[in-house]
Chain A
Amino acid sequence: DTEVTQTPKHLVMGMTNKKSLKCEQHMGHRAMYWYKQKAKKPPELMFVYSYEKLSINESVPSRFSPECPNSSLLNLHLHALQPEDSALYLCASSQRTSGYNEQFFGPGTRLTVL
């Protein structure tokens, strides 16, 4: 299995809702990432997990809460989001945590915050 899967594909939520995005990979990769991407812009790194521990948090607001339950799964818990948080949220994984660092991306979750 050489793919990263993400669910759901689309999500519409109100500003008072709590929802979660899920990501899964079965390639034995030791690093997993969350990115946020706005239209016509490059992905912006949000979080990095290395060996199931949070290693990078790019000063992301606390309304985004990542979780890595095991080496194959990565969640992003969402609470009290703002309309400007509407974006494509991408999960990625890589075999290594530094150096040679090809990343494999999932198809993304298109999030709309009303």
Chain B
Amino acid sequence: SQQGEEDPQALSIQEGENATMNCSYKTSINNLQWYRQNSGRGLVHLILIRSNEREKHSGRLRVTLDTSKKSSSLLITASRAADTASYFCATDGETSGSRLTFGEGTQLTVNP
């Protein structure tokens, strides 16, 4: 069963605006990752944040992690139409070995 929940399920914004997606999880983790998936394609790894990190940046992406609240957020700044995709968080649990648990995903639409 999926332990991650993402919020919102769908988000529609205008080009140039910022997009924020949230992820909550239930068990202790080694790290949390964010993936992007264009329609009908494979997933692309975006960023990984370790359990002892609180914030990480990569280009226009900013990820935060609050292990006390078991939650993470992904911020995409200055969004572009090409950012339109589904975004999934995935957790690598302390006891899950190589198993990643994916959240339900957020469908982001960036309107030109």
Chain A residues within CB distance 8 Å of chain B: 4, 6, 31, 33, 40-43, 45, 48, 50, 55-56, 88, 90, 92, 94, 96-108, 110
The docked-state distance in angstroms from the alpha carbon of A42 to that of B100 is 11
* 5 shortest interchain CB distances as A-B pairs: A42-B102, A105-B42, A105-B43, A107-B42, A97-B98
> Cβ of B2 and Cβ of A101 under 8 Å apart?
no
> A100 — which chain B residues lie within 8 A by C-beta?
30-31, 48, 50
Contact B43 A43 (CB under 8 A): yes
Q: Are A103 and B97 in contact (CB under 8 A)?
A: no
22 pairs, CB–CB < 8 Å, chain A vs chain B: A4-B42, A6-B42, A42-B4, A42-B104, A43-B43, A43-B102, A48-B98, A48-B99, A50-B98, A55-B98, A90-B43, A96-B98, A98-B92, A98-B98, A99-B92, A101-B92, A101-B98, A102-B45, A105-B43, A105-B45, A106-B42, A107-B42
Interface size on B, residues (CB 8 A): 25
Given contacts A41-B104, A43-B102, A102-B33, 7 further A-B contacts (CB under 8 A): A45-B99, A56-B97, A99-B30, A100-B50, A101-B31, A105-B43, A108-B40
What is the CA–CA distance of A56 and B41 in the complex, to the nearest angstrom? 24
Asked if residues A45 and B100 are in contact (CB atoms below 8 Å), the reply is yes
Contact, CB under 8 Å: A90 / B92: no
Chain B interface SS verdict (over half): strand
- Which residue from chain B places its CB closest to the CB of A30 in the assembled complex? B98
Q: Closest chain A residue to B42 by CB distance?
A: A105
Taking the closest CB of chain B, its distance from the CB of A26, in whole angstroms, is 16
In the complex formed, the residue of B with least CB distance to A45 is B99
CB distance from B45 to the nearest CB of A (A): 5
| B40, B97, B98: residue with the most chain A Cβ atoms closer than 10 Å | B98
Q: Does B25 contact A (CB under 8 A)?
A: no
Query: Which chain B residues lie closer than 8 Å to A94 at the CB level?
Result: 98
By a CB distance below 8 angstroms, the chain A residues around B44 are 105
Q: Report chain A residues within 8 Å CB of B99.
A: 45, 48, 56
Q: What's the Cα separation between A99 and B104 when bound, in Å?
A: 22
